[in-house]
Amino acid sequence: MKNKRHNQKPQHKGAVYCSAWCRHGCRWSEFKKAEAFAAKLAKSLGRGWTPHVWENMGWHWRVEYGTLCAVYPRSDGYRKFWIDVHVGGRQICLDAKNIASGIRAAISAAKDQAARTMADADKLAKAVA
């Protein structure tokens, strides 16, 4: 059975913008700040990046590039980011100050993993040939 309380939309009452299930007292200003940061980052990254804002004991945000990559702000004032890349059935997570170079580092790590996987597969294929 689905938990209906998690489907409740936040209610805007004065400075508070919070859903009944949360009860954290989330603020409208925090929501608007998260919304603005997410939109600005998605726009700066370019076509295909989408902003997402959600409530969970406060307002949080990320930007996504489909299912391949998500970028989350760290809690140190948005000067660092956590980058979560999913390629080839693998997940690569890392911290970065610069998003583009962080994504490039994750792609490089994914390619290195793929090369090691192929080398191991070739070695095993030769062993059973």
Domain-wise residue ranges, the chain: 4-127
* Secondary structure letter of residue 16 according to DSSP: E
**In the predicted model, is pLDDT for residue 43 greater than 60?**
yes
Whole-prediction pTM value?
0.77
pLDDT of residue 1: 44
For residues 96 and 47, give the distance between their C-alpha atoms in angstroms, rounded to a whole number.
21
Helix (H) or strand (E) holding 42: helix 28-45
Q: Kindly give, in sequence order, each residue whose CB lies less than 8 Å from that of residue 30, ignoring residues fewer than 6 positions away.
A: 17, 58, 59
When pLDDT is averaged across residues 49-68 and rounded to a whole number, the result is 93
**pLDDT class of 110 with cuts at 50, 70, 90:** confident
In the numeric block, the tokens 């603005």 are attached to 36
